[in-house]
Amino acid sequence: MKVAQNPPLKILTHADLQSGLRLLRDIDPLLVPIIDGLEDVPLRNRAPGFEGLAEIVVSQHVSKASAAAVFGRLMGAVVPLHPQPLLECSKEALIATGLSRAKQNTLKAIATAVQQDGLDLHGLCEQPVEEAQRALTALPGIGPWTAEVFLMFCAGHADIFPAGDVALQHVAGDVLGLTERPDEKAARAISERWRPVRSVAARLFYARYAQQKGRSALPV
C-alpha cells in the first residue's frame, strides 16, 4: 500500500470527499472496485451543534425511517431545537414524539451540560479527536458510536471509523474476504489500513452497504 500524501484535514465539502477517495485508491487497491462501482458517495454532513447531536442520538439502535419520523416530530415539538427549549419541553410532548425514555434522558443531559456546565459543542468540534471523544462519552447515553458519528458528520474530522457500526463491519469483512463479520475490535484494527482518511472509507462503506441491501445505511 502506498502512503497517502497531503490528506484533507477535514471532510466538509464534496471536493474534500473526492480528494479522500482518490487517496483511498492509492492507500488500498482493494477499495478501487468499490469506488468505481458506486455512482455516488453521500457527504451527509450535519451542523456541529445541539441539533446535529440530537439527530444522532435519535438514530441510535433504530432504522433510518423510524429515526427520521421521530426526529421530525421532535423538531415540531421543540422549536427551535436548542438546549433551553428542550429542557422546557413537557414530558408529555417528548413522549408524543416517540422518543424512548433513555433517549429523552440523554437529550436532557446534553442540554443541561450545554446550558449549565458550559459544554461548547461547536468548540468541541475543533478539539483533537481523542479529547472530543472523552468529553462526549462522559455524557450519559453517549457511547463511542454516537461520539464518532458526531465527530465525523458534524465536525467533519477526516480520520474516524465508527467500528461498532454493523454496516461498516459487514463491508470491511467483505473487502478482506472474511468468512465472518468482524466485531468492533477487529473492525477497528482493520480500519487502521485506511488512515488518514478513515472517515472517507466509512462513507464509502455506508454507500456500498446501501447498494448491497437496497436501503440507506447512513446513520443520519
Whether 91 and 148 map to the same domain: the answer is yes
CA 65 to chain centre: 16
Three-state DSSP class for residue 160:
coil
Distance between CA atoms of residues 151 and 17, nearest Å: 15
Judging by beta carbons within 10 Å of its beta carbon (0-12, 13-18, 19+), is residue 117 exposed, middle or buried? exposed
Whether 147 and 71 map to the same domain: the answer is yes
Count of C-beta atoms within a 10 Å radius of residue 102? 13
Strands (E), the chain: none
Question: Of 153, 175, 192, which residue sits at a domain end?
Answer: 153
**Residue 6 pLDDT grade (very low, low, confident, very high; cuts 50, 70, 90):** confident
What is the pLDDT, as a whole number, of residue 214?
A: 75
Question: Of 131, 153, 175, which residue sits at a domain end?
Answer: 153
Point out which residues pair with 157 in neighbouring strands: 10
| Phi, psi (rounded to 5 degrees) for 30 | -65, -20
What is the chain's alpha carbon radius of gyration, rounded to the nearest angstrom? 18
Greater model confidence, 51 or 7: 51
**Residue 173 pLDDT grade (very low, low, confident, very high; cuts 50, 70, 90):** very high
Summarize the confidence of residues 42-46 as an average pLDDT: 92
What is the pLDDT, as a whole number, of residue 218?
A: 63
**Residue 4 pLDDT grade (very low, low, confident, very high; cuts 50, 70, 90):** very low
The continuous run of DSSP H or E covering 155 comes out as none
Summarize the confidence of residues 186-202 as an average pLDDT: 97
> Quick check: is 5 in a domain?
no
Q: Is it the case that residue 131 has pLDDT exceeding 90?
A: yes
pTM, to two decimals: 0.92
Summarize the confidence of residues 72-80 as an average pLDDT: 97
Question: Of 110, 133, 153, which residue sits at a domain end?
Answer: 153
Domain that holds residue 168: 14-44+159-213
What is the pLDDT, as a whole number, of residue 34?
A: 97
Those residues with Cβ within 8 angstroms of residue 81's Cβ, 6 or more apart along the chain or in another chain: 50, 51, 54, 74, 75
Summarize the confidence of residues 35-60 as an average pLDDT: 94
Summarize the confidence of residues 109-123 as an average pLDDT: 95
What is the pLDDT, as a whole number, of residue 164?
A: 95
Whether 88 and 179 map to the same domain: the answer is no
Three-state DSSP class for residue 10:
strand
Summarize the confidence of residues 59-88 as an average pLDDT: 94
What is the pLDDT, as a whole number, of residue 63?
A: 85
> Quick check: is 80 in a domain?
yes
What is the pLDDT, as a whole number, of residue 88?
A: 97
Whether 133 and 57 map to the same domain: the answer is yes
Whether 102 and 63 map to the same domain: the answer is yes
Write b or e for each residue in 26-55: b if 16 or more Cβ atoms lie within 10 A of its Cβ, otherwise e: ebbeebeebbeeeeebebebbebbbbbbbb
> Quick check: is 179 in a domain?
yes
- Grid cell 485506511 is found at 194
Count of domains for the chain: 2
- Is the separation of the CB atoms in 198 and 160 below 8 Å? yes
Q: What cell was used for 48?
A: 456541529
Whether 181 and 120 map to the same domain: the answer is no
**Residue 147 pLDDT grade (very low, low, confident, very high; cuts 50, 70, 90):** very high
> Quick check: is 6 in a domain?
no
**Residue 217 pLDDT grade (very low, low, confident, very high; cuts 50, 70, 90):** low
Q: Is it the case that residue 1 has pLDDT exceeding 50?
A: no
Q: What is the mean pLDDT of the chain?
A: 93
- Is the separation of the CB atoms in 172 and 187 below 8 Å? yes
- Is the separation of the CB atoms in 170 and 141 below 8 Å? no
